[in-house]
Structure 1
Amino acid sequence: MTKTGMRPSAVACVLAGLSCAVPALALAAGPAYQDVAPQIDTIVQNRPKDFSRENDERKDYVFGKLGSSNRDRIAALANTLGATDLLEMRERIEKAKQAIADKEAALRVLEAELAQAPPDATGITGWVSNHLSRTYSDVKAELDRAQQDLMRLQDAANAERQAVVDRLNGIGVVVSVEQLDILLRSITGDDILRMAGFFENVLAIHRGLAEALTAQGEKVDLASKYYATRVVLIDVAVEMHDRFLQRSGGEHVRTLDRIMQEAQAVKAEAKAFIAKEKDQALRDQAENNVRRCDLTAKVASVYKTILQDQARQVSDRRERLSRERELAINTYKVAAVSGELAKLIKQNDQDFSTLMQITLPDMRPFENAEMRDEFERLTKRLASKS
């Protein structure tokens, strides 16, 4: 069993040389309401009854020492609810990709060796020769085994990708395998998977709370706990959105702008060199540098558009969350005077499920392998800057 309580993945089985059946869709192992109730209750207790945020930045004093603010508690709760095995699934896919690349490199070596391998010899002299060096049949047998290993690795990686797609689609994040590949190559891949896992965990906690409270009957005082918790969960969702916007819509976009500026500056230097150079071989090298700069600038521009599309959608959802927070407070007041708690909880639970979803922008496929490789190179560069 893995640390998340799931059976070994298909990728893990193949990498370990095992043969095991793996379910197509793994269940989430996120926290239950009971696990986070103490954190939520502490946040609620340190809020004024009108749910205003004026106290959130203030530090508490514990035994005469400066303690945590509600802002700190909300950030800590965001970390708890953002924990998801989707990140482990992504890591397994990355390991599979590396294993496939290593196996493909080994195959190229074997293919080159096969082309130079001596034929199998016969007789006593041949028997000695066959045992002193690798013959055609020796290399061919190893090549066949390596090709079979490669196919198993590719099948396992595809199964892992499909499992992530099914998992995301199951929580309302519509994505294809092709879109997932681009997402996993993106600098925001972890952030989006973490946010998807967060929404999955929050929905489970919210539904668990709703079921627990409605089972206790029509009690008006339960509305306070339900809607206070609902407001806290929305506040945590806003925190997750703010983190994403700071990185995707801010830091990463600024880095891509610098990369595009650098590419244009280096391109100008290369073109200046071409204008004055007579040696054709050197001119050809400089022309290649110009093409590389153009590719970098083109992919960086596409990358920037993807990040800006993501940031725009997340920003829109953040604004919706702020309005939903106001409505949750107002609905709490309605429940307090009407006593129709069960009916309100059922309706608002459906609304909350719709709210706690994310959508992905159009993840355009790469025009060619060169653009895909440059996209991954830029991702590594962005990661090194963060």
Structure 2
Amino acid sequence: MRVHEGNVRGYGAERGASGRMGRRVLAAGFALFLLAAPAFSTSEDSLPGYLVEKWGRLTGTLSEALALRDRQETLPASSWFGADKSSNAKKIDELLDQALEILVQGRAGDLRRQALELRTDIPGLRLEADGLRNERISAPETSRLPWVRTRAKIDERLSELEEEISHRERALSEVNAQLAEALRALGLQLDQGQIDVLLSSVTGDDLLQNAVVFANVRAMVEKLAELSREDRDNLEINRRYSGLYLVLNDLLIHTQEELVRKIDEDYKPRLGEIAKEAEALRRDALAKAGQKGYTEAQRRSFSLNAESNAMTLRVADLYMQLLDSQRKGVLDNLTDLRRNRDLAENTYRTVRSSGDLRNLIRSGLELFDSIHALSMPEIRPFENETIRREFEEINKRLKR
């Protein structure tokens, strides 16, 4: 079954000793994040309010996934009628996705969504302003027709757009600061510049989402440990709790494998196509810039186009390094997470007492505290505004 699915130099600077130091700083930051994950008392109030409110729905969804998981080995590989391994695994993944809809909640998750909405709004407003500036060229100075846009009306709208863009940029800066604070509350140390890079990258949304999911999963595991102590002599209840813990491991693996799939099947191939196109355009522009059949102004324009495509290639290479670093980190952690799931599954099948479950959860929490579960790559602020804009342009093309 599938069940998958550093803050030193600027982007564009040479990599070296300081880059390695950045990775060590990030590693320390992740260790702090995991170690600082909240420990909960036996009171339901110790859980975040959204988890308390959705606890029944969440555990019910996970229990459904567990029941389907129990069926998996007994089902045929394929079947014309009825369930088979493939259809059953698909249902499990759908249930895990439903659980994720709850587990992505929280202040950091809400701020992440606000930031992404603002980042989506701003380019649209800039595009409208660009269209109006072009329309203004041929617009009349005056007109008696109310539906005709005069230069004065266009200027008025351009002024409004300028204010709207400035307002959203200020709001985005404030949200980024709040998001950095919310992530620090989870133990993840990122400054506003690094947050900006994350939100500008195609994997950033997944990374920030996984930060929230990981914290909420850990909170649930702590609560399961407490509940098991209250029913320590009821083997059926303890088996159920160990099963929920098993499915939570499935869920963490699911999020990480899904990110690897996106990188391998979507982002890296698209990025390769962008780089290939930019290289072809660069070569063509350079060739024509040296041909005497074109005017001097035309040759100069070809040279500028070649430089622009060279910048695209440079930023695409930086982007590929970011994706490769992310992919390697996720794969490294998946090895540990899968081993932890193997232990969880074995214990679920053979649980005899609450002690078995407590030992299982204790070892799981030790793992959570020792691995870099979010696998964030080295995150460096943008070297300059040109690279930042090119990075965002590539990101838009990757998301199409």
1:93 equivalent in alignment to 2:115: yes
- Amino acid of the residue matched to residue 50 of structure 2? A
1:294 lines up with 2:315 in the alignment: no
> What TM-score does the superposition give when structure 1 sets the normalisation length?
0.70
Residues 146 and 65 of structure 1, relative CA distance in 2, 3 Å threshold:
closer
**CA 287–198 in structure 1, closer or farther in 2 if over 3 Å, else same:** same
Distance 1:256 1:177 in 2: 26
The reply on whether 1:29 has 2:50 as its aligned counterpart is yes
Structure 1 residue 230 corresponds to structure 2 residue 248: no
Deviations 1:93-121 (A, max 9, x none): 24445777869x99xx9xxxxxxxxxxxx
Paired position in structure 2 for 1:375: 391
1:43 is aligned to: 65
How many Å separate the matches in 2 of 1:54 and 1:356? 31
Contact 2:289 2:299 in 1 (8 A): yes
Say if 1:34 and 1:206 are closer, same or farther in 2 by CA, change over 3 A. Answer: farther
Moved more, 263-272 or 156-165: 156-165
Mark the CA change 1:46 to 1:263 in structure 2 (over 3 Å): closer, same or farther. Answer: closer
Which amino acid letter does the alignment assign opposite residue 89 of structure 1? L
- For residue 245 of structure 1, report the CA deviation from its aligned partner: 0.6
- In 1, Cα distance between equivalents of 2:290 and 2:64: 69
2:200–2:392 contact (8 Å) kept in structure 1: yes
Asked whether the equivalents of residues 43 and 70 of structure 1 are also in contact (C-alpha less than 8 Å), the reply is no
Q: Give me the identity figure in percent.
A: 23
Q: CA deviation at 1:163?
A: 2.2
Residue 290 of structure 1 and its aligned partner are, at CA, apart by: 0.6
How far apart are the structure 1 equivalents of 2:61 and 2:113?
Answer: 29
Q: CA deviation at 1:75?
A: 1.2
* 8 Å CA contact 2:202, 2:399 repeated in 1: yes
> For the structure 1 residues 359 and 177, does the alpha-carbon distance in structure 2 shift closer, same or farther, using more than 3 Å as the test?
farther
Aligned length: 323
Q: Following the alignment from structure 2 to structure 1, what is the Cα–Cα distance between the partners of residues 352 and 173?
A: 52
Q: Give 1:324's aligned residue.
A: 340
Alpha-carbon distance in 2 for matches of 1:368, 1:190: 22
RMSD: 4.0
Note the C-alpha offset of 1:215: 1.8
Decide which moves more: 71-80 or 86-95. 86-95
What TM-score results when the alignment is normalised by the length of structure 2? 0.67
Going from structure 1 to structure 2, the CA distance change for 1:91 and 1:343 (only over 3 Å counts) comes to closer
**Map of 2:254 onto structure 1:** 239
Q: Deviation per CA, 1:197-223: give whole Å up to 9, x if none.
A: 322332233223222221223444444
2:98 to 80, 85, 95: 80
1:187 paired residue among 182, 202, 209? 202
Which 5+ residue runs of structure 2 have no aligned equivalent? 1-47, 133-151, 153-158
1:21-52 deviation digits (Å, cap 9, x = unpaired): xxxxxx6735744222233323333445xx9x
Rg comparison, structure with higher value: 1
Displacement, 1:322? Answer: 0.9
Larger RCO, structures 1/2 (Cα 8 Å, 6+ apart): 2
Cα contact 2:231–2:238 (8 A) shared by 1 = no
